[in-house]
Amino acid sequence: MKKDNKLLETAVLGLVIITGLVAIYYMYQVNTGRAFLQAPQFTVVQTTYEYCCCATQNGKLFEVYGKVLKDSDDIEKKTACQEMCEVKHSTPLHPSILVNVGKCGARTNHFA
């Protein structure tokens, strides 16, 4: 009976030591960013769409959306709008140009 208790105590002590070592190793892994069972670390990049007012060669206005970063400056917005107007919505027979960043509004003819 005493021998069984000693064996049980040794087994429990061994489990406690092994669990402690695994916990210490896991905490080390968390601190270095390599832990298993840890949520992935990623950066959220928020984008938004900016209205772009474009014009065809004969003056017809149309709107497209340019995708920009949420806190982008005017230069980045203009670059995104130029990409949408002059590259993606332009053809050799029907070229288009950027009129302004934003909605076309009540303007009817860019060239008038």
pLDDT at 110 > cutoff 50: no
pLDDT in tens, 1-28: 677 788 889 999 999 999 999 999 888 8
In a domain, 109, yes or no: no
Structural domain count of the chain:
2
In a domain, 108, yes or no: no
CB count within 10 Å of CB 68 equals 19
- Tell me, what's the pLDDT at 112? 38
pLDDT in tens, 57-109: 888 999 998 889 988 899 999 999 999 998 888 888 888 999 999 999 854 44
In a domain, 110, yes or no: no
Same domain for 94 and 71: yes
Both tokens of 39, joined, read: 């949520």
Q: Which helix (H) or strand (E) holds 31?
A: helix 2-32
In a domain, 106, yes or no: no
Same domain for 70 and 87: yes
- Domain coverage including residue 76: 47-101
**φ, ψ of residue 108 in degrees (nearest 5):** -110, -30
**Of 97, 111, 87, 21, which is closest to residue 13 (Cα–Cα)?**
21
Same domain for 97 and 51: yes
Per-residue pLDDT band at 29 (split at 50, 70, 90): confident
- Tell me, what's the pLDDT at 90? 85
Same domain for 95 and 63: yes
Per-residue pLDDT band at 32 (split at 50, 70, 90): confident
Same domain for 79 and 53: yes
